[in-house]
Amino acid sequence: MEEFTSIKEKLNSKNHYKPRPATPARNNMIIGFRAIEEAIASGKEFDKILIQKGLKGDLFTHVRKLLSDHQIPTQQVPQEKLDQLTRSNHQGIIGFTSPISFGNIEEIIAQTYEKGLTPKLLYLDGVTDVRNFGAICRTAECQGFQAVIVPEKGSAQINEDAVKTSAGALFHIPVCRVKSAITVINILQSSGIKLVGCTEKTDTLIQDVDMTGPLCIIMGAEDTGISDEFIRKADALGKIAMYGQTSSLNVSVAAGIIMFELNRQRL
């Protein structure tokens, strides 16, 4: 049946099915199964796709497999969440396209070594605020980091606000998505890259941590910090010295301080 024709077959057909244009509530929102299917076929990059809990049927199964094949992050949400995002008939699925293309961290590491450079990477563990994310990426690009790594789930949405806050830096520094903490830990440590977790749960100051070799800085959210997995697996932990009565820093400010310390040591 035409409704379940594969993407490949439709692309090879001159008269393949064309859905009605999506009626997004935002510029980066695509609504409905067919519109999302066609967007994937055209090469659109997705930041994430929200799927209504409890959906079933052949069409849902077909699109879910398509999303898995293209490694597009999905999140199951109540129907009320989707209804809040749009008044259109969303069919139980809403996608958010990304203004950037995502990089492959293993390829970037290999290319960095091939160029004779010492890797300096940044992993953001649970940083969900869009403006903080954009500001951190701006600093990372200015400081010559090769990539910013984020988890598929539990990270800031990469949208126009993120690009604006980054002052366009997101178009110049690769952002790489990984499935889990253990995935990135295995990739980095097997590539000879030292993991430095930034946390208050240590007595070591960040300036006392050796950051001259291949390295990935791990930054966590302001309220929760880095996960226990990173605290256990990190090669070193460090914290920023605090002298006032305020007990914490904004995560983008803290990230900036630590990135500058890394480059200070290397200079």
d(CA 217, CA 255): 9
Give the CA-trace dihedral at 51, 52, 54, 58, to 10 degrees.
-50
Sign of torsion over alpha carbons 48, 52, 55, 60? negative
Strand pairing class (93-97; 46-52): antiparallel
Name the class of domain 2-97.
alpha beta
> Among all chains, which residue has been given the structure tokens 């396209």?
97
Tokens of 59: 């069409």
One CATH from 3.40.605.10, 3.40.50.1220, 3.40.1280.10, 3.40.50.300 for 105-266: 3.40.1280.10
Whole-number pLDDT of residue 27: 63
List per-residue pLDDT tens for the chain, 267 residues long: 444 444 444 434 433 333 333 333 456 899 999 899 999 888 888 988 999 998 888 888 888 888 888 888 888 999 999 999 998 899 999 999 999 999 999 999 999 999 999 999 999 999 999 999 999 999 999 999 999 999 988 899 898 899 999 999 999 999 999 988 899 999 999 999 999 999 999 999 999 999 999 999 999 988 889 999 999 999 999 999 999 998 889 999 999 999 999 999 998
pTM attached to this predicted model: 0.81
Query: At residue 146, what are phi and psi to the nearest 5 degrees?
Result: -80, -25
* C-beta separation of 121 from 216 below 8 A: yes
d(CA 107, CA 132): 26
Beta carbons within 8 Å of 210's beta carbon, 6+ residues apart: 236, 265
Whole-number pLDDT of residue 11: 36
Whole-number pLDDT of residue 19: 34
d(CA 212, CA 261): 10
Helix axes 58-69, 33-41, angle to 10 degrees: 30
DSSP letter at 104 equals -
Listed in order, the ranges of the chain carrying CATH 3.40.1280.10 are 105-266
- Closest by CA position to 264, among listed 94, 144, 102: 144
Whole-number pLDDT of residue 248: 84
Listed in order, the ranges of the chain carrying CATH 3.30.1330.30 are 2-97
d(CA 4, CA 9): 10
> Among all chains, which residue has been given the structure tokens 């400081």?
143
Whole-number pLDDT of residue 71: 84
